[in-house]
Amino acid sequence: MTVDEILKYSGNFGPAQWCLLSLFSLVNIFASFHYFSQTFITITPKHSCYETNSTENDFIHNSTNSYFLYWEFETLTSELNWICENGWKSAFVQSTFFIGSVIGTLILGSLSDIYGRIPMLFIANILAVFGNLLTVYLNPNIWNLSIARFISGLASDSNFFMMYIIVMEYVKPSMRTFGLNFCIGLWYCIGCMITPWLAVLTKNWRTFLLSISIPSLIIPLSCFFIPESAQWLLSVGRTDDAMTCFKKVARINKKKIPSDLLEHFKSTVNNNKTFVRKSSLWDLFKTPKLRRKTFILIFKTIVLSLCYDAISRNIEGLGLDPFTVFTITSASILPSCITILIWQDKLGRKILAILFLLLTGLFNFIQGSVLVFCKKVVFIAAIVGLFGRFSVNIAYNSGTQYAAELIPTQVRGQGLAVMHAVGYAATFFSSQILYLGNFWIATPQIILGVLSITGAIFCLYLPETLGKDLPATLQDGEVFGEKEKMWEFLKLKRKDRRKF
């Protein structure tokens, strides 16, 4: 008897699941606030840099002239006058957030395997609020702000992913893909579209951070009522606690699990305990074919994370104010999730990864060309950016599942955690890439375009996973797809697609 089978008796899509999905919707909104708030508190106002007649011939801040604040929103950058030769400070502070994300993902992810998902969900959301409060109340200089944004970054992703795991485990299998993806597509999209206008409404970056931080305390408070991951409890031998979680779900769903069934499940769990050699992440690199696939997945993760973050936050200098540009491009999140739901199980993972990485690169090149050669109609760049973000959303979200299916079950948890951390490490450079636009306006688009197309080319060397038995052991991972030709995914038979 499996966990999914016992879940049927406790109710796998009743009031308890709707409560979890509702809370997950809030998590999506607050996660989008947290992730993109740093974009708006560091927006650079319109200004001009000019050379003095001094012998040092250095650039001077536009302090004697009034610079233009978008929608009268006072940013951290405008308050501290981080423009011209001090413009790098804003990019540096943003980068410390991603350093925190890398470390937080590794630490909280590892601790969640020891202490459970709920404690880490609680800690991650408390860190998010604490980091934002430090940002608001510490003396605003580059070092204090870097420390505060680092602490805030420690929460990023864990404040979302822990809840994702719990919801996934308690919702029936047939509704997981649709329920989770639609929930993310709708509520993360709404959160992103609301974020810039909360900033406009509050008028000041400090008030803005407070307005998105204090309400999010509802998530750690709700941790006292959320059931712990039953899968995790069983994996660490806490069978009785897992039974308590199932009973709690059954009570909310007005179901009753027969006591003899619970005893049968407990005995099944105890009988299935086997002793196997513990595998480590380094086992992925010990055999040649699995090593090659792992390196390609790591590179693809770097490309996707870097492009996703940079494209999402590339909202300045596109002919419209950054708040409007971000809102327009964020509208692509829901359609991209719906596209994945419709086509991923029909076309396959590989073709979706290659096609939309290529389109991401193409739209970046078009946007760069518009910025250089069509300066009078530069707002077209914002429209092209909408399609670019649509493409990268699909490539990023579908790529996560593709990687999970290619990594053998034996080391899947460790592999995904490290790849997630590597992806966040790559986003450290997204602020620096966007900053290069100050030297030549199309530089970010060229870099992102080249990376996207290179990532698509590397994906040609990965096997398709649709309709196939996924690798369970390291040996399975070594031989998986070894007989598949590079272009075979284009000839995938319809019956193979339906089999998945």
Tokens (6 digits) for 58: 């250095």
Asked if residue 432 has pLDDT above 60, the reply is yes
Residues 6+ apart with CB under 8 A from 363: 384, 385, 387, 388, 391
Contact 105, 158 (CB under 8 A): yes
pLDDT of 65: 38
Which burial class, exposed, middle or buried, applies to 133 when counting CB atoms under 10 A from its CB (0-12, 13-18, 19+)?
Answer: middle
357 or 401: which leads in pLDDT: 357
pLDDT of 74: 87
Return the bridge partners of 74, or none.
Answer: 204
Query: Which among 122-131, 323-332, 373-382, 480-489 has the top mean pLDDT?
Result: 122-131
- The per-residue DSSP string of 252-283 comes to HTT----HHHHHHHHHHHHHT----PPP-GGG
Q: Once rounded to an integer, what is the mean pLDDT over residues 66-92?
A: 76
Q: Once rounded to an integer, what is the mean pLDDT over residues 50-55?
A: 48
Q: What is the dihedral of CA 170, 175, 181, 182, to 10 degrees?
A: -110
Rounded Cα distance between 324 and 245, Å, is 45
pLDDT of 61: 40
DSSP state of 215: G
Give the Cα-Cα-Cα angle 84, 62, 316 (nearest 5 degrees): 55
pLDDT tens across 166-219, in order?
Answer: 888 898 877 777 888 788 889 999 999 999 999 999 989 999 999 999 999 999
Quick one: what percent of the chain has pLDDT higher than 70? 89
Cα 23 to chain center, whole Å?
18
Q: Once rounded to an integer, what is the mean pLDDT over residues 227-247?
A: 87
Element (DSSP H or E) covering residue 60: strand 59-60
Distances (CA, A) of 375 to 95, 361, 367: 30, 21, 11
Asked if residue 461 has pLDDT above 80, the reply is yes
Of the listed ranges 58-62, 299-303, 304-308, the one predicted with least confidence: 58-62
Tokens (6 digits) for 339: 């596209």
Quickly tell me which residue has 């001077």 as its tokens: 60
Asked if residue 362 has pLDDT above 50, the reply is yes
Quickly tell me which residue has 């979200």 as its tokens: 397
Query: Collapsing DSSP states into helix, strand and coil, what is residue 500?
Result: coil
Tokens (6 digits) for 71: 């929608």
pLDDT tens across 122-154, in order?
Answer: 999 999 999 999 999 998 899 999 999 999 999
Quickly tell me which residue has 């712990």 as its tokens: 228
Residues 6+ apart with CB under 8 A from 233: 116, 239, 241, 242, 245
123 or 312: which leads in pLDDT: 123
Rounded Cα distance between 399 and 413, Å, is 16
Query: Collapsing DSSP states into helix, strand and coil, what is residue 51?
Result: strand
pLDDT of 71: 62
Q: What is the mean pLDDT of the chain?
A: 84
Which stretches of 42-141 are DSSP H helices?
A: 76-79, 88-115, 117-137
pLDDT of 488: 72
Q: Once rounded to an integer, what is the mean pLDDT over residues 362-381?
A: 85
- Predicted TM-score (pTM) of the model is 0.81
Q: Which domains does the chain have, with CATH numbers?
A: 1-47+68-274 (1.20.1250.20), 283-500 (1.20.1250.20)
